[in-house]
Chain A
Amino acid sequence: MRKKKMIFKIEDVTVYFPYENIYPEQYEYMIELKRTLDAKGHCLLEMPTGTGKTIALLSLITSYRLSRPDSPIKLVYCTRTVHEMEKTLAELKVLHDYQVSQLGAQAKILAIGLSSRKNLCVNPKVLAAENRDSVDAACRKRTASWVRDMAVENKNVELCDYFENHEKAGENALLPPGVYTLEDLRTFGKNRGWCPYFLARHMVQFANVIVYSYQYLLDPKVAGIISKELQKESVVVFDEAHNIDNVCIEALSVSVRRVTLEGANRNLNKIRQEIDRFKATDAGRLRAEYNRLVEGLALRGDLSGTDQWLANPALPHDILKEAVPGNIRRAEHFVHVLRRLLQYLGGRLDTENVEKESPVSFVSSLNSQAGIEQKTLKFCYDRLHSLHVNPLKLQIQMNLCLFRQCATLQLLLGHMQGAFPSSLSLTTKECLIFQILYCSCHDASLAIKPVFDRFQSVVITSGTLSPIDLYPRLLSFNPVVSRSFKMSMTRDCICPMVLTRGSDQLPVSTKFDMRSDPGVVRNYGKLLVEMVSIVPDGVVCFFVSYSYMDGIIATWSETGILKEIMQQKLVFIETQDVVETTLALDNYRRACDRGRGAVFFSVARGKVAEGIDFDRHYGRLVVMYGVPFQYTLSKILLARLEYLRDTFQIKEGDFLTFDALRQAAQCVGRVIRSKADYGMMIFADKRYSRHDKRSKLPGWILSHLRDNLSTDMAIHIAREFLRKMAQPYDKAGTTMGKKTLLTQEDLDKMAETGVQDMVY
């Protein structure tokens, strides 16, 4: 017999929920979300992982849409990875099937996932390229407008059939309603012979639900193309958004290395040659372009639409109003300007000191030394664009992304410094091997501000958003709702512990003055030795930095502690090499599957800490050695801290602790991904028991936290915990007196009595 799925009412919205049961926290989450939508405001919602955030969000928003047929809202769902995107779309599919079965055809929606060409392309020749950039280049080589123009005359030019068919269909190339995962899009595209990538891009304006990555909305370079057609009545959801401020900052930051400059120089030479060639063969075209520029005609008019060669990062309307300055109108002059700029940047990189400069002074010294004005800089990006696309029909084999980076830097410089004088800083960082020129943005709110302004509701949600009051300040917006939800658990399936002392009662910490103390290192080692002998399968350890990890492992190997660990479990170590780490992870999983047991040593801000789950037996215990503060001597961080203090009145210490603790919470949160799972978390540092640190941990960890333990106490607790968790348990939690799964009847009853007396 098929079980009945749920329909219930939240205030005036009928919600369709495609499962038989709902967790109480999901229900509350929906209520808060509904109020946000009603208020047409923004909200911050924190709910632990494994409680079904995604389905609660999707179910409520689509149901909300159905209940307001006169003003349909659009859902824009941003995820961090392609994997998460696929998961979200799969959930949506289940939901959509259910809604259609309940309501018939009127509930039909169009939902698509949008990703890069690499994930969507179906042309086997293009897909043969190995990385993302080369797939993009291979695609452009076949689809750019001038290539196609050329193909009309010359039959030997290779085109992409899928793209051509899509173009032929024109406005009629539409997707029938339904939920399309990336795989579905590819299959559909293959069957119809339409390019899935361009089809998806075309459908963005018609779709009811769009799932794509953060960058498509936050990065101004990309957002201008993809997301500009989204209507105001949209709900934007940022999932797993605990790092959203960093994403925003990265979107507006540029770094230039020596290799970048060299690549740019090579490209410039190529352009130069092309121009010379054209001058000899086709001077008319260059002149036509020049005349257009003189007229101050925006190049955009005839460029937009098909070609997204280099898109304009920010504030395009400024430029439209002004004519292109005279000194870069001619192509050869423009190339000269660029060359001077590159030389100047190269000169800056040659320095041996660490320098920090504000954009204003950087631009003025650029003006005095290289003779390039700020206004010129502003137009560089656009000018480069027009040079490529229109007159020259440059062959695209050149790898221009290096060049693009420089150009972006110029543009950011040109623009930002007028509008936000202190939000950028330039740092030349001197290392032993290479110098890097950083242009880093310090204000996270800059990139996200257009999103807040433009869309009706923005939902920021994650498993760890504590302390929840700091995010509105960092991103400078006013949420109408900000709430943190607890997890209702049938059993206490997490066991977080703060370990402050070793078994010899001496405090342990990675504080700078204590970290090299042999006693601390020994105590940390002993902790792990004891733990690996009582914890089955996988154990994950996070260290504060690579250098600390290397140091402590070396000491452990000298003192024989590593040998003792290896008697119980195999040891795997994360390195900065991606391939090596992937291999290590793979073998780690194998060792856990086969029952050999394994320990994975990892770094708190590494790749593993952010994206890899250690759920079920892959992580029964995670040990966080020390508090993962950022490297506080970094010039960029110092500049950002200064900016935060001056602008938002956030104290340096507060921000650092917040950042460290959210990182720690992320690390330990890797072990638990669902309610049926269980895992232990050890915070091994005496500083965690201080109030300022502890209070910044998420509520669902805090409520189970055992504080101020020594190694032997932790061992005892761990033993008991693991035994208890191995026992069979009652999933619905009906016998324990607290309900953790609500059925349709429960909800009906609750609707009568009011929500307040819900049992948590």
Chain B
Amino acid sequence: MSNERKRTIGEEEEDEEDAEGIGEWERSYVDDRSWEALQEDESGLLRPIDNSAIYHAQYRRRLRLLSAAAAGTRIQKGLIRYLYIVIDFSRAAAETDFRPSRMAVMAKHVEAFIREFFDQNPLSQIGLVSIKNGIAHTLTDLGGSPESHIKALMGKLEPLGDSSLQNALELVHEHLNQVPSYGHREVLILYSALCTCDPGDIMETIQKCKKSKLRCSVIGLSAEMFICKHLCQETGGLYSVAVDEVHLKDLLLEHAPPPPAIAEFAIANLIKMGFPQRAAEGAVAICSCHKEVKIGTGYMCPRCKARVCELPTECTLCGLTLVSSPHLARSYHHLFPIAQFDEVPTVSSLNDPRRKLRKNCFGCQQSLLGAGNKPGPCVTCRKCKHYFCLDCDIYIHESLHNCPGCESIHRPKSVSLMEE
């Protein structure tokens, strides 16, 4: 290994000795150093990089953390979230260590995150704030429509000046202080700068946020900053630093599922909600959200009969929360997550009588045997004892939220009941 390293360093020296006239495209590869990620096998052949095991390990770890937190008691989750996403568009966002630039990468993944967020939290709302030139700007107010946020985000891509954490927090605090008390106030900051130029004492602002129960999380793009860590510790948020683009995406998506409820808000609360009907085809009306004449599309508030374009939202006239029943249903699985699957040891189970079952994954029916007919890695459900491959494991826990094995056991019973 050390030999290898020496050699690569030696090569670089040569590279950079005549580096006078290398073009920009070449420079990008020199910076990238993709060759350092290559691995050789015993015979000296290059081996494709196999990351699936690593990804699965990461996922298991995440799951373990979640289940450890949930151990024993059933956790109450904050399903109604008011989240502000703060994106740092200061000078540092123009850096090109993420390709093409930090800013573009951030925007791309925030877009994906917004969609995922509304998918998982249909009852929640998002607002966007950007930091530019030391000042925080509101891009969009709190709202439930992914499209309008994304549109506003993509229109403002241009890095400039310093960054100020305090200004951003003050602005968000002002906005979030007005939301009703049953909602969870959250801030997610994507911070690419390494310093913050503040007009006042940021410690006071942090205490203010803590007092009004703002949960602040930060995702850094370059290195760990003390103040961000402090902010997250104080307000109970998560602080993480992205290593590369894939990691950044993972870190962002970690914020999509609802966090555990804050103790003070954990008292059960009744919330008034309206379930509006879709307006008749071809009916013409002025929608209350855009003040435009629209034909056909839209929903009608059951209380004041105002027309809105999208769900979920808040009626602009009477302030009623408007949702549809699938939204509620979709939030439901967060409260009853399926248990973690057990990992199956690869060696000891050779004499297992149920070994024949392990040939195929119960989910996708693909063979579970690895190269050379050796048993590959797999997991098993604690309840139904079916085996699954790693891909299905992730899919079941993160997207499906149902175990196919358990579901197929229950079905005959219910069918027979119905027949009687």
Contacts and interface: CB of A to CB of B under 8 A. Distances in A.
Given A568-B194, A617-B225, A716-B33, 8 more contacts: A536-B194, A593-B230, A595-B225, A597-B194, A597-B195, A723-B241, A725-B224, A727-B243
Contact of A533 (B17, B194, B201, B228): B194
B226 A568 contact: no
A443 interface: no
A716 B33 CA distance: 10
A561 interface: no
Instruction: Give 4 nearest A-B pairs by CB, closest first.
Output: A595-B227, A726-B241, A617-B226, A722-B223
Interface residues of B, number: 30
A696 interface: no
Interface in A633-682: none
Nearest to B57: A735
A724 B226 contact: no
A594 B227 CA distance: 6
Contacts of A595: 165, 195-196, 198, 202, 225-228
A723 B219 CA distance: 12
Contact of B222 (A568, A593, A617, A723): A723
A285 interface: no
Interface in A677-713: 710, 712-713
B225 A536 contact: yes
B264 interface: no
Contacts of A719: 97, 222-223
Given A568-B195, A723-B241, A727-B243, A534 B165 contact: no
B127 interface: no
Contact of B241 (A597, A616, A727): A727
Contacts of A597: 194-195
Contacts of B16: 505, 710, 712
A592 interface: yes
Among B198, B241, B242, chain A packs the most CB atoms within 10 A around the CB of: B241
A596 interface: yes
A219 interface: no
Contacts of B17: 505
A117 interface: no
A173 to B, nearest CB: 48
A505 B15 CA distance: 12
Contacts of B228: 595
B262 interface: no
Q: Name the residue in B33, B222, B240, B242 with the highest tally of chain A Cβ atoms < 10 Å from its Cβ.
A: B222
Contact of B195 (A505, A569, A593): A569
Contact of A534 (B9, B223, B243): B223
B198 to A, nearest CB: 7
Nearest to A709: B9
A358 B31 CA distance: 62
B266 interface: no
A537 interface: yes
A596 B243 contact: no
Contact of B226 (A534, A537, A712, A713): A537
A311 interface: no
A441 B97 CA distance: 57
Contacts of B195: 536, 568-569, 595-597
Nearest to B241: A726
20 contacts: A533-B194, A534-B194, A534-B222, A536-B222, A568-B194, A568-B195, A569-B195, A593-B203, A594-B196, A594-B203, A595-B165, A595-B225, A595-B228, A596-B195, A596-B198, A617-B226, A710-B16, A723-B222, A723-B241, A726-B240
A535 interface: yes
Nearest to A616: B226
Contact of A724 (B201, B222, B243): B243
A716 B230 CA distance: 27
Interface in B132-159: none
B106 to A, nearest CB: 16
Interface in A527-544: 533-537
B7 to A, nearest CB: 14
B339 interface: no
B220 interface: yes
A536 B226 contact: yes
